[in-house]
Amino acid sequence: MSGLLALLDDVAAIAKVAAASIDDIAAQAAKAGAKAAGAAIDDAAVTPKFVHGFEADRELPIVWRIAKGSIKNKLLILLPVAMLLSSFAPWAIMPLLMCGGGYLCFEGAEKVYHAFFPHANEQVEEDLDVGDVAHLEEKRVSGAIKTDFILSAEIMTIALAAIPVGNLFMQGATLAAVAIGITVLVYGGVALIVKADDVGMFLAAKGRLGVTRAIGSAIVRGMPGFLSLLTKVGTAAMLWVGGSIIVHGLESLGVVGPGHLIHDWSAAAGHLVEAGRGAVEWAAKATMDGIFGLVVGLLLIPLVTRVYDPIVDRFKGKSDTAVN
């Protein structure tokens, strides 16, 4: 009997350790996921455009295909790479994080630039020329998964940087929890967004009560504005997250000027109010990080469009010629 009781005690102790580990993983995943929220918001803002123009019955299957590609990106490619970096080249995490921050700044700044200086969307015009709907769907899904890979890499790198260095299993489990949780949140939200207008039309046409029909009509009328707002929020989030990453990276490299200046100005803004000082300081810092990110992104636009893109196009042309 005493042996059985001792065994039960050991099992209970192991269960407590396992439960504590799960709690630690969940807490670290929540913290790391919050750090990556800006990139996740942009992911949610970008994805709906890939299902635009398809029949309603194809919208959710397309979102599901993109979501599966996203989870494969995170778990099968990015997670192992992140763990290898953490184990063998931790010094490379910050430079890669800064590169990802620069990408976010570039994307955000490009959207701001195009808002003031609009131009024709060549990709949309190219899509309109495609007569085969199945081919167009494959093309859209493939493009969405490639875009997701870049954003997922940024999400995973941000999350990795936010996880305390320690047990390798804990790091891997936390990153996996972040990958799954963010994918579910992002693409669950995208599914709700792309079907919201259908739900609104159904309520407006089939609702038995006047208030139900009114809600349906309000949803239909409000969706264009909501999508526009979501795009703006995603752009602001990209600039804020990208700018803050680069500022923090510069500080780690010994360039402390921008970080100190932003800190001092945000503290000064907080001292101007009595109530809600912390919130004002945070908003001021986020705004200045976003402005810094916008400046960095605007500086990167000519570098990308006049140097990087022509080089990539040249290599693509050579590759296509070799295949043909």
Round to whole Å and give the CA distance between 286 and 280.
Answer: 10
Closest CA to 141 of 58, 261, 216, 265: 58
Round to whole Å and give the CA distance between 311 and 307.
Answer: 6
Q: Find the helix packing angle between 257-270 and 277-303, rounded to 10°.
A: 150
| DSSP letters spanning 52-69 | TTS-HHHHHHHHHHHHHH
**Quick check: 226 pLDDT over 90?**
no
Q: Whole-model pTM above 0.75?
A: no
Tens of pLDDT, residues 85-123: 888 888 888 888 888 888 889 888 988 988 888 765 444
52-56, 208-212, 268-272, 275-279: lowest mean pLDDT where?
52-56
Q: What is the mean pLDDT of residues 263-267?
A: 89
Domain boundaries, the chain: 12-323
pLDDT of residue 5: 38
Round to whole Å and give the CA distance between 307 and 302.
Answer: 8
Tens of pLDDT, residues 143-190: 788 877 877 887 787 777 777 766 677 777 888 888 888 888 888 888
Inter-residue contact 101 to 243 (CB < 8 Å): yes
Of all residues in the chain, what percent carry a pLDDT higher than 90?
Answer: 6
Round to whole Å and give the CA distance between 247 and 35.
Answer: 15
**Quick check: 214 pLDDT over 70?**
yes
Round to whole Å and give the CA distance between 272 and 171.
Answer: 41
**Quick check: 139 pLDDT over 70?**
yes
pLDDT of residue 295: 95
Amino acid at 75: L
**Quick check: 49 pLDDT over 70?**
no
Contacts of 116 (CB under 8 A, 6+ apart): none
Round to whole Å and give the CA distance between 5 and 235.
Answer: 60
